[in-house]
Amino acid sequence: MTFHKSIGALACAALLVAFSASAQNKFPGEGGVNLDVPYVPTPQNVVNRMLEMAQASANDIHYDLGSGDGRIVVTAARDFKVKKGVGIEIDPVRIKEANANAKSAGVTDRVTFMQTDLFAFDFTEANVLTLYLLPDVNLKLRPTILDRMKPGTRVVSHAFTMGDWRPDNQDTVDGETLYFWVVPSKVGGNWEWKVGNDTYLANFTQMYQVVTGTVTGPSGQTMISNSVLRGENFRFDAQVTQGGAPVTMHFVGKVAGGQIGGAVDFGGKDMTRVTATKK
Ligand SMILES: C[S@@+](CC[C@H](N)C(=O)[O-])C[C@H]1O[C@@H](n2cnc3c(N)ncnc32)[C@H](O)[C@@H]1O
């Protein structure tokens, strides 16, 4: 299914106009239900790019919230081979279309469409989540995504952002902007690790995937720099002194609940395995 560029852009504009005209209101669905978001399908080339950005693959469980005629779920199963796909859709007319589309694509064994309200269904088993909703709906979903979904879950939203949670990546296809996030692990607070006999204490402040803070070691306290938190993967640098000479300590690790397992090196030397523990 190919949509002309201007049709895609118009559809997106129509969605925004509808939104601003009735911010608090529901929209009438075709199947006698009220919708939080009117039905506007994502053009197929945009669907493909969304799933490419998410790097959807055979290891993934994919959910599309407000799945319309099921095109994103069907494409993820047929072309990206996800092991399980679920579409959550409140309008029974769309569910009928989605089931027919899954049947013609030959993916009914891996794909399910649930006729229900997306706010009433637990979608947190997904590790790939796609959305073409509205800004206020994204914001309502944001706490569930950040606090209940597994770190490392990939989220792609067609056209709409997540407030002040800035995307890890974005792209534009035929005038439509796509936003990509990776659900970050929780690293805010105090951590401790040892390198030989030296104890290091860190205090991190986290705002989504942005982490700032200090490390205190034998040579005193310093701010961390170059920190990157992508899902469970966390790295940062800290300037320390060794034998009286300044050196950059690189910390690279994987967050698993209250521990960060990884390694530190000092200016690229003396690499040591460490486990930081949450205090
Ligand atoms: C903009 S369309 C996106 C359709 C599809 N995801 C796509 O990108 O082609 C939004 C969809 O969300 C559905 N929807 C609206 N409110 C919903 C709700 N509360 N629960 C589940 N689905 C809802 C609408 O019926 C519509 O099909």
- Dist CA 251 CA 265 (whole Å): 7
- Is pLDDT of 55 > 60? yes
Specify the pLDDT at position 16. 54
CATH number at residue 196: 2.40.128.20
pLDDT in tens, 226-279: 999 999 999 999 999 988 899 999 999 999 989 999 999 999 999 999 999 999
Ligand 1 centroid vs 131 CA: distance in angstroms? 9
**CA 252 – ligand 1 centroid, Å:** 40
| Rounded average pLDDT over 1-21 | 45
Residue 125 and residue 224 in one domain: no
Let me know whether 211 and 152 are in one domain: no
Q: How many A from CA of 72 to the centre of ligand 1? A: 12
Alpha helices by DSSP H, listed for 22-169, are 44-53, 71-78, 92-105, 135-148
Give pLDDT, residue 244.
87
Of 128, 151, 182, at which residue does a domain stop?
182
Residue pLDDT, tens place only, 191-238:
999 999 999 999 999 999 999 999 999 999 999 999 999 999 999 999
- How far, in Å, from the CA of 81 to the mean position of ligand 1? 23
First to last CA, the chain: 54
Average pLDDT, the chain: 93
Contact 136, 23 (CB under 8 A): yes
Q: Decide: 262 in ligand 1 pocket, CB within 6 A.
A: no
Q: Tell which residue, 143, 136, 130, 159, has the closest CA to residue 25.
A: 136
Among 27, 67, 94, residue to substitute to test ligand 1 (most atoms within 8 Å of Cβ): 67
pLDDT exceeds cutoff 50 at 22: no
Note the pLDDT of residue 15. 53
Q: Do both 142 and 157 map to the same domain?
A: yes
State if pTM tops 0.85. Answer: yes
Domain count across the chain: 2
Any atom of ligand 1 within 6 Å of the Cβ of 64: yes
Question: Same domain, yes or no, for 120 and 55?
Answer: yes
* pLDDT for the residue 93: 98
Do residues 130 and 199 share a domain? no
The pLDDT value given to residue 242: 84
Judge whether residue 51 has pLDDT over 90.
Answer: yes
The larger pLDDT score, comparing residue 165 to residue 25, is at 165
- Asked whether residue 120 falls in the same domain as residue 30, the answer is yes
Q: Is the distance from the beta carbon of residue 40 to the nearest atom of ligand 1 less than 6 Å?
A: yes
Cα(38) to centroid(ligand 1), Å: 7
Residue 33 has a CB neighbour count (10 Å cut-off) of 17
* Gyration radius (Cα) of the chain, Å: 22
Residue 10 predicted with pLDDT over 50: no
Q: Domain range spanning residue 161?
A: 5-182
Residues 164 and 215 in one domain: no
